[in-house]
Amino acid sequence: MNRNQPNDNPGAPQTAEGGQAQPSAAPPFDPRMLAAMYGLPEEDEIDLLEYWRILWKRKALILSISLLAAVVAAGISLTMPNIYKAEALLAPVSAGGSKGGGLSAALGGLGGLASLAGISMPGGGNVEENLAVLKSREFLWSFIKDEKLMPILFADAWDDAKHGWKEPDPDKQPTLWDGYRLFSESVLSASSDKKTGLITVAVEWKDPDIAAKWANTLVARLNRYLREKAIRQSHIKLKYLNDELARTAIEDQRKALFELISQEQKKAMLANTQKEFAFQVIDPAVTPDKKAKPKRSLIVILSTFVAGFLAVIGVFIQEGIRQRRLAEAENSSQPQPTK
């Protein structure tokens, strides 16, 4: 740099060699200093140690609430009746055979006639529909009435001495609708294993012997109900096919009708002779030796944890309110500046 060159900024501080001095770096900004200078409140920080001190100070209250909840939950769970679960394992019964394709080819253009008659080709039954029948209102109403289950389902409302309901008002007595809702929602369940295709029918009740009896009876009644329904439908279809045969003179159509009649007669024969019509019993229900619910230990543990968590939340809320009141009292005790 040329020393004789004039300085562009004569007011700037000069170094010993005549050069312009570099500005010094500004000190770092500290918000706590600003808060101290102007009386501003500092930002709240999470102090885990302070939280622990609060919990330790109120540990007796938290433990007492948790222990009380455990005792109450244990007492309530002991009043719950034991529920036993009896299960029957079933396999869907299929009509089997590979005659459907040959019969369809023999029918030729008479497929519409078979549809009108309600004829279905041999094959497995519709498992979903059969399970829907199991939990249908008509089927369960019949089961409840035939087995006289209303006094058992609503034992608290039944008077054994009088053999009648305790409530004299008929409008307040349990109805079949009440029995159907209770049985279908809380007592009976059915599930299907998609991998194996096996069906599990389960009955849950307070008496293990009754639970096993109901499960086996339901399966037997379902097979009988579906078998009788198939027999009635076969009679209707055979009547229709015989009427069509009497009105038809074309040899090809008569041959196809004979095939349909023969097929329907086979189905009717199977329905009349096959006891396990829709479901084959792989493993019948037996009296369970262990209860399914209530899980009393789990109820007590969950109740204890929930009560302890709520107690901790309550302690923090109470401590926050206390500190806020102390801060308000301290601010109100300070002298106000005069104008």
Which pLDDT tens digit goes with each residue over 255-302? 887 788 888 778 777 777 778 888 999 999 999 999 999 999 999 999
The candidate with the shortest Cα–Cα distance to 201, out of 279, 301, 122, 293, is 279
Residue 303 region, left (φ>0) first, then alpha (ψ -120 to 50), else beta? alpha
Is the pTM higher than 0.85? The answer reads no
State pLDDT tens for residues 26-44. 555 555 554 455 454 544 5
From first CA to last CA, the distance across the chain in angstroms is: 61
Contacts with 217 (C-beta within 8 Å, 6 or more apart), sequence order: 143, 147
Q: Which residues of 106-142 are buried (b: 16+ CB within 10 A; e: fewer)?
A: ebeebeebbeebebbebeebebeebbebbbeeebbee
Q: How sure is the predictor about 125, in pLDDT bands with cuts at 50, 70 and 90?
A: low
What pLDDT sits at residue 132?
Answer: 93
Confidence of residue 306 (pLDDT cuts 50, 70, 90): very high
8 A C-beta contact, residue 263 and residue 122? yes
Max mean pLDDT among 248-257, 300-309, 312-321, 327-336 falls in: 300-309
159 phi and psi, to 5 degrees? Answer: -105, 110
Q: Are 2 and 8 in contact (CB under 8 A)?
A: no
- pLDDT attached to residue 20: 53
pLDDT for 157 = 93
Residues 205 and 16: their CA atoms lie apart, in Å, by 103
Judge whether 225 and 143 are in contact, CB under 8 Å: no
Give me the residue spans of the domains in the chain.
48-78+295-327, 83-283
Tokens (6 digits) for 243: 């009427």
